[in-house]
Amino acid sequence: MAHHVTLLPGDGIGPEVTSATLRVLEATGVEFEWDTHKIIGTSAVEEERPELPDDVPASIRERGVALKGPITTPVGEGFTSVNVQLRQRLDLYANVRPCVSLPGIDSPFEDIDLIIFRENTEGLYAGIETYDARLEIADSTARVTRRGSERIVDFCFDYAQKNGRDTVTLAHKANILKESSGLFLKVGREIAERYPDVNFNDRIIDNMCMQLVMYPQQYDCIVSTNLFGDILSDLAAGLVGGLGVTAGANFGDDYAVFEAVHGSAPDIAGQGKANPTALIRSAVMMLDHLNETKAAQAVNTALRDVYAAGEVLTADVGGSSSTTEFAEHLAARVEEEM
Ligand code: NAD
Interface confidence, given as ipTM, is: 0.99
Q: Cα separations (Å) of 245 from 4, 94, 103, 209, 218?
A: 26, 20, 12, 20, 21
First to last CA, the chain: 18
Test site for ligand 1: of 37, 97, 264, 271, most ligand atoms within 8 A of the Cβ: 264
20 C-beta closer than 6 A to ligand 1: no
Nearest-CA residue for atom 10 of ligand 1 = 265
Based on the residue annotation, tell me whether 125 is a catalytic residue of this protein: yes
| Residue 80, CB-side half-sphere exposure with 13 Å CA sphere | 13
Using the atom order of ligand 1, give the atom closest to the CA of residue 268: 11
**Ligand 1 atom closest to Cα of residue 262:** 2
> Nearest to residue 226, comparing CAs of 168, 152, 165?
152
230 is an active site residue: yes
Ligand 1, atom 39, lies closest to the CA of: 70
CA dihedral sign, ordered 25, 27, 31, 33: positive
Give tens-digit pLDDT for 158-182. Answer: 999 999 999 999 999 999 999 999 9
**Count of positions (residues) in the chain:** 338
The confidence band for 145, taking pLDDT boundaries of 50, 70 and 90, is: very high
pLDDT tens for each residue of 63-80: 999 999 999 998 877 788
Residue closest by Cα to atom 6 of ligand 1: 265
Give yes or no for residue 225 having a pLDDT over 80.
yes
Q: How far is CA 275 from the centre of its chain?
A: 15
Q: Give the rounded distance of the alpha carbon of 199 from its chain centre.
A: 24
Spatial contact of 66 and 96, defined as CB atoms under 8 Å apart: no
Catalytic residue among 54, 206, 253, 254: 206
Q: Which one-letter amino acid corresponds to residue 47? A: E
Query: Are the C-beta atoms of 279 and 25 separated by less than 8 Å?
Result: no
